Structure 1
Amino acid sequence: MNKLFFNLVTKRIVATLSALLVIAIGCGAGVWQLSRANTKIALAANLQARQQMPILSANAGPWTLEEVSERRMIARGQYIPEAAVWLDNRPRPIPPAGSAIAQSGFYLMMPLRLEGKDEVLWVNRGWAPRNNENRETLPPVHTLNKVVNVEGIVFAHPGKVFELGSGKITADINKPRIEQNFDLVAEGKAHSWAQSPFILRELEVGTEDGLLRDWAPLTSGVDRHYAYAFQWFALAFAGFLFWLLSGLRQYKRQELTNGD
């Protein structure tokens, strides 16, 4: 046994170190993918628990982000459609059945002037597909010109995508515009109005406005993390197996040579 260990390890230092490196990388990456999956599951469970708490009223504020984050909230007010921001390069939250490729489109961010308060609340009203023939053409969306009730979930921001440049607001803020990302603080400064320190992601409540709100659950992607973890662990096992079998093959050849 000592002789076998000597031939597998001591006489194959480079191969052993290479195998250990592959095993370490594979196991480390696999554990990291599992931790990502567990984190998503925990976040989803926390979100579900917070959504079961009593529904808050935006008009009863002021509220801080810490007080209302991931809570259900109802806001009553009137939209300001001329200040809308269309967030580009946003895939459809849940692709249609049978489609493996997510369709690209926009999130519509629109300020809602709260009734009875000198305050604005930004609402992520939903997703709309992009015009593939003309990227500058905005999707048709119906906005009621009256006071409405909006129900949704509170978040810090609508999500971010990679963006080149500073992301400063350079377009006319008095008409709808297309942006890559949404900066809540910058919007407040640009419009010089008081606003809530969070956004409201609208829930589907039967409104026929041309927007989709089939938001993907926070657990989306968990299966992918498990698949990646399996691949990394398989790579680590394959590295160990290759090191072991190649060493045993070399050991047997040496034994046969010595026997001759």
Structure 2
Amino acid sequence: MATLSALLVMAVGCGAGIWQLSRADTKIAMAATLLARQQMPILNANAGPWSLEEASERRMIARGQYLPNAAVWLDNRPRPIPPAGSATAQSGFYLMMSLRLEGKDEVLWINRGWAPRNNENRETLPPVKTPSRVVNIEGIVFAHPGKVYELGNNKIDVDVSKPRIVQNFDLESEGKLRGWSQSPFILREVEVGAEDGLLRDWAPLTSGVDRHYAYAFQWFALAFTGFLFWLFTGLRQYQRQSVSNGHRGDQE
């Protein structure tokens, strides 16, 4: 029974450790792919149309005017890179805002950045400055701004004439809701230093790799502990059998 338990612990520990290492390798490979695509020529959203396959993870510039009344605030988003010395991630919003492309009857959704939540009143939106003029935006193309777990399907009647807070952003649903012609991707803005109340210090795709390595070490340590348990249990059993056989030999 002890042997079976030890083997089970070793199998689980080794399997989970290998899985954590594969997760780390996947993130490293994804980051390398993203970096390679960012080195490709910069796309111009106004010169499209571009498909998601053509533009995904590429750098892109866009020129147009924001439609602030259509803003969508994505709730429960941790600060991409926590401040130095902070042990916990600060919760806040991603601001998704539509950009009417200049010279085109098309909208491009922009992830403008992160802003902290008002801890006293979660319905109070952060103060953010939005230019009323035509602007130039540079960013990286993604299929969506990332998803968080939510209860329900968020299918409720909404007022499209004013900003709203949601858990997740559905690009296709937004287009149908507003009857817009829009790009099949979002653009995550990369400009830093702009004094508009938003942070754009995006975490690299390799963030979390060290955590996967730490988890893998813990799982392998558990497997090694199971091996030691099996080894010591076997040695003790062998010693007891030797002593028992020795007593029987003396009695004879």
TM-score class normalised by the smaller sequence? over 0.9
In the alignment, the residues of structure 1 paired with residue 111 and residue 182 of structure 2 have an alpha-carbon distance, to the nearest angstrom, of: 15
Matches within 5 A, 1:9-88: 14-88=1-75
Deviations 1:37-64 (A, max 9, x none): 0000000011111111111100000000
Matches within 5 A, 1:1-260: 14-260=1-247
Query: How many pairs were matched up?
Result: 247
In the alignment, the residues of structure 1 paired with residue 27 and residue 203 of structure 2 have an alpha-carbon distance, to the nearest angstrom, of: 12
In the alignment, the residues of structure 1 paired with residue 149 and residue 231 of structure 2 have an alpha-carbon distance, to the nearest angstrom, of: 44
In the alignment, the residues of structure 1 paired with residue 87 and residue 190 of structure 2 have an alpha-carbon distance, to the nearest angstrom, of: 25
Percent identical pairs in the alignment equals 82
What is the RMSD of the two structures over their aligned residues, measured on CA atoms?
0.8
- Asked if the contact 1:108/1:125 (under 8 Å) is kept, the reply is yes
Deviations 1:113-160 (A, max 9, x none): 000000000000000000000000000000010100000000000000
- Asked if the contact 2:2/2:233 (under 8 Å) is kept, the reply is no
Q: By how many angstroms is 1:205 displaced?
A: 4.2
Other-structure match for 1:4: none
In the alignment, the residues of structure 1 paired with residue 151 and residue 158 of structure 2 have an alpha-carbon distance, to the nearest angstrom, of: 16
In the alignment, the residues of structure 1 paired with residue 116 and residue 190 of structure 2 have an alpha-carbon distance, to the nearest angstrom, of: 18
- Going from structure 1 to structure 2, the CA distance change for 1:40 and 1:201 (only over 3 Å counts) comes to same
Amino acid at match of 2:100: R
Deviations 1:167-205 (A, max 9, x none): 225221110000000000000000001000000000024
Amino acid at match of 1:258: N
TM norm structure 1: 0.93
Q: What SS does structure 2 have at the residue aligned with 1:39?
A: helix
- Asked if the contact 1:124/1:199 (under 8 Å) is kept, the reply is yes
In the alignment, the residues of structure 2 paired with residue 148 and residue 29 of structure 1 have an alpha-carbon distance, to the nearest angstrom, of: 49
TM norm structure 2: 0.96
Deviations 1:73-105 (A, max 9, x none): 000000000000000000000000010101000
- Asked if the contact 2:74/2:93 (under 8 Å) is kept, the reply is yes
In the alignment, the residues of structure 1 paired with residue 207 and residue 159 of structure 2 have an alpha-carbon distance, to the nearest angstrom, of: 36
In the alignment, the residues of structure 1 paired with residue 55 and residue 189 of structure 2 have an alpha-carbon distance, to the nearest angstrom, of: 15
In the alignment, the residues of structure 1 paired with residue 130 and residue 216 of structure 2 have an alpha-carbon distance, to the nearest angstrom, of: 45
- Asked if the contact 1:169/1:186 (under 8 Å) is kept, the reply is no
Other-structure match for 2:250: none
In the alignment, the residues of structure 1 paired with residue 246 and residue 167 of structure 2 have an alpha-carbon distance, to the nearest angstrom, of: 72
Q: What SS does structure 2 have at the residue aligned with 1:154?
A: strand
- Asked if the contact 1:125/1:211 (under 8 Å) is kept, the reply is yes
